[in-house]
Amino acid sequence: MKKTFLIAGMLILGSTAMQAQEVQKETQTTSIESELTAVEEPLPSITTTAVEEAPIMTQEELKAFKQEQKQIERERKAALKKQKEIVKTQKKIQKTTEKLNKTKTKYNKENDTFNRDMALGKIAPVQELKIKTKLHKYQTEIANLEFALKAEEYKYENLTK
């Protein structure tokens, strides 16, 4: 039973594939025939009318047109430069934010360890000074990164206005 369904399905699939190929051949021949008829139309009449209708520019108009094109090109380059600067600023903001988050994580981890060991009395006075110095460096770095991040955000806001 399964074999007969499989054979019937294969036959149906083969017949539809052959019909699709025949249809494709017919459409190709009709498109080739339409292209041939399009080429047979007289072209000289079309080109002569196009040449006759073309306006002639004076030297002043040509100069003004060239200046206008230069101005458009300058504006396009300025817009492109601004877009690149915006992307650059966004990347800086992202990097600074990531660095700030990593530094905050390090600070919090060190501070938690310090507070826990301090409460347990495991830290000697010399070690306490070293750890506090390290924590202070982290705090300074966090403050500097926050300042740099704020500066980049202001720069981004000014560029997007």
- Of 138, 141, 114, 111, nearest in space to 128 by CA: 114
- Exposure letters 59-74 (e unless 16+ CB within 10 A, then b): eeeeeeeeeeeeeeee
- Confidence band (pLDDT; 50, 70, 90) for 132? very high
pLDDT tens-place string over residues 41-57: 555 555 555 555 556 87
Report angle CA 7, 12, 18 to the nearest 5 degrees: 125
Give the rounded percent of residues in the chain with a pLDDT score beyond 90.
61
Question: Six-digit token pair at 120?
Answer: 């347990």
Helix (H, G, I), strand (E, B) or coil at 26: helix
Domain extent listing, the chain: 1-54, 81-161
pTM value is: 0.56
Count of CB atoms within 10 A of residue 96's CB?
19
- Assign 3-class secondary structure to 120-155: HCCCCHHHHHHHHHHHHHHHHHHHHHHHHHHHHHHH
- Confidence band (pLDDT; 50, 70, 90) for 4? confident
Helix (H) or strand (E) holding 35: helix 2-39
